[in-house]
Amino acid sequence: MRFPDHRQGSFHVDAQRRLGATGTMPLLGAVALLLLALAALVAFAVHADAGAVTIVVALFAAFAFLYWRAFKARAAAESLAAEVRRTTTHLEQAQRVAGVGSWEWDAVAQRLTWSVEQRRLHGWTEPDPPQAVDGLLEVIAAQDRDRVATAIRTVLVDRAPVDLEYRVHETRGGRLIHVQASTVTDAHGRPVRVIGTSQDVTERDRRAEAERANQAKNQFISRMSHELRTPLNAILGFGQLMTMSDLDERQRGNIEHILSAGRHLLDLINEILDISRIESGDLRLALEPVSARSVIAETIDLVSPSASSRQIEVTAVLDADDLCVRADVQRLRQVLLNLFSNAVKYSDPGGHVRVRSSAHGEDRVRISVEDDGPGIPPPMIERLFSPFERLGAERSSVEGTGLGLALSRGMIEAMGGQIEVRSELGQGTAFTIELDSATGWRPPALIDPRPVGSAAPAQADSPGSTPATAAAR
């Protein structure tokens, strides 16, 4: 028996039946009346009976009425059939978008009906999908067939709803299908059909598997970082003790190399651990109102030794009002220190680094760190925040791990903010942090910014701004 197309469902068949019932019968009656009218007309021509004229007129009037009825009925039936086709098409499209197929098992006729999407989910490209249960089991992965067969018996015998998942055979796509089904009974409680839906949950399963793998990775990183930091701290501690001993210049230089490498490795371990916490959502933040002026000044003090050694001028242009942001002060300082350090490292000796703070709208604050370095080529900007991506700087003498910017973006986003970058070749690069404003809060005592590397106060870059840094020469 040929499997009926999904578009030839019960509703569509009913529409076709109504089309025949409403259009064919009145038309047959009209034809019969036309034949009678012709017979009456012949009788009038032969016998010249005036009564025949009346009969002919009445029959023709009845014929016209019945023909009109047949025309209207057929038009209505065709409109209904068109609406059924349109509704069926919309249903197929909706099922395709949602990845949900439908099916029906006729318990009386022992026939299985598949929707178009049901066929696609099971990788069935042949004209006629299986109409028997055994045919359905053939497209299911071998390890799941017994479970599906048991579920079919449950829904037919116990009339209990079914909710299960099974894997389609690899030769037909290997999708993971989530099935829900229930039994429809007649007036005597006997099952007449089973109606169900099938949904493709392959992507959900893949995401769950990826999440489990990510959690395992994060646990491994956390444990390994602890195991690595314990001996590393011992190495750094003994190295620092050795510097207090009576050493010659060569020995002291070797110890400094050990300490420098140890600190670099410790920073790398801490950054990897922070990246892992951000990815797993375990980064703990203590959000509070933070003075932008204070945290900028503290960061400048921390970066001043490296800026002074390279004769780089660091200048701050801050809003006249002390703006406050909602942030974790330690994490914000860590982000700013990373941006400042990058600006100093990648600027030419004698260059200029500028930091700005300003209100953005009524509820946001922006902090920008700008340099006049070589800039970043536009195609590379998209890779800038990828972990371990240094854009070729790993071949230079500039130290780094490639984790700082990825870590900075993760921290800023965790604090409800965002970080942007703009760069021009030969003109420099600017990173902008945007955070929620903490309007109305004022710190008990502001930390006045101090000049970096100089006792002389720095000049403000523009009217209305507050000097917060100095030249490091």
Q: Where are the beta strands (DSSP E) in 33-124?
A: 100-106, 111-114
Asked if residue 108 has pLDDT above 50, the reply is: yes
The Cα 9–Cα 3 span in angstroms is 11
Question: Of the spans 135-139, 221-225, 327-331, which averages the highest pLDDT?
Answer: 327-331
Helix, strand, or coil here: 123?
A: coil
123 within a domain of the structure (yes/no): yes
177 within a domain of the structure (yes/no): yes
What token pair was written down for 305? 């030794």
The predicted model gives 172-189 an average pLDDT of 85
Q: Which of 174, 179, 175, 167 is nearest to 143 (CA)?
A: 167
| Residue 241 sits in the same domain as residue 168 | no
Contact (CB, 8 A) for 326 and 415: yes
Helix, strand, or coil here: 467?
A: strand
For position 457, what pLDDT does the model report?
A: 33
pLDDT digits (tens, 9 = 90+) for 395-428: 555 565 667 788 888 889 988 999 999 888 888 8
Contact (CB, 8 A) for 350 and 317: no
128 within a domain of the structure (yes/no): yes
Contacts of 439 (CB under 8 A, 6+ apart): 324, 362, 363
The CATH number of the domain holding residue 112 is 3.30.450.20
**pLDDT tier, 33 (very low <50, low <70, confident <90, very high otherwise):** low
The CATH number of the domain holding residue 270 is 1.10.287.130
| Residue 448 sits in the same domain as residue 317 | yes
Q: What is the DSSP letter of 321?
A: S
Mean pLDDT (the chain) is: 75
Q: Which of 112, 114, 185 is nearest to 152 (CA)?
A: 112
Alpha helices, H only, 113-201:
116-121, 133-138, 145-153
206 within a domain of the structure (yes/no): no
| Residue 139 sits in the same domain as residue 157 | yes
Asked if residue 114 has pLDDT above 70, the reply is: yes
pLDDT digits (tens, 9 = 90+) for 439-454: 755 544 433 433 333 3
Question: What dihedral angle (degrees, nearest 10) is formed by the CA atoms of 455, 459, 465, 468?
Answer: -20
The CATH number of the domain holding residue 394 is 3.30.565.10
The Cα 318–Cα 358 span in angstroms is 7
Q: How many domains does the chain fold into?
A: 4
160 within a domain of the structure (yes/no): yes
Helix, strand, or coil here: 315?
A: strand
Final residue in a domain of this structure, among 162, 179, 200:
200
pLDDT digits (tens, 9 = 90+) for 255-273: 888 887 887 788 777 777 7
408 within a domain of the structure (yes/no): yes
249 within a domain of the structure (yes/no): yes
| Residue 165 sits in the same domain as residue 77 | no
pLDDT digits (tens, 9 = 90+) for 45-83: 555 555 655 665 665 666 667 667 777 778 888 888 888
> By residue range, what is the domain housing residue 47?
1-98
Final residue in a domain of this structure, among 200, 235, 261:
200
The Cα 167–Cα 202 span in angstroms is 9
The predicted model gives 352-378 an average pLDDT of 88
| Residue 381 sits in the same domain as residue 458 | yes
| Residue 432 sits in the same domain as residue 313 | yes
Q: What is the DSSP letter of 140?
A: B
How much of the chain, in percent, has pLDDT values that exceed 90?
Answer: 5
Contact (CB, 8 A) for 296 and 367: yes
Return the sign of the alpha-carbon dihedral for residues 216, 222, 225, 231.
negative
The Cα 92–Cα 31 span in angstroms is 41
| Residue 35 sits in the same domain as residue 65 | yes
| Residue 75 sits in the same domain as residue 152 | no
Asked if residue 434 has pLDDT above 90, the reply is: yes
**pLDDT tier, 365 (very low <50, low <70, confident <90, very high otherwise):** very high
For position 469, what pLDDT does the model report?
A: 36
| Residue 141 sits in the same domain as residue 240 | no
| Residue 171 sits in the same domain as residue 80 | no
For position 185, what pLDDT does the model report?
A: 85
| Residue 69 sits in the same domain as residue 135 | no
For position 271, what pLDDT does the model report?
A: 75
Facing residues of 432 across strands? 368, 420
| Residue 115 sits in the same domain as residue 92 | no
Final residue in a domain of this structure, among 246, 264, 280:
280
What token pair was written down for 418? 């965002």
473 within a domain of the structure (yes/no): no
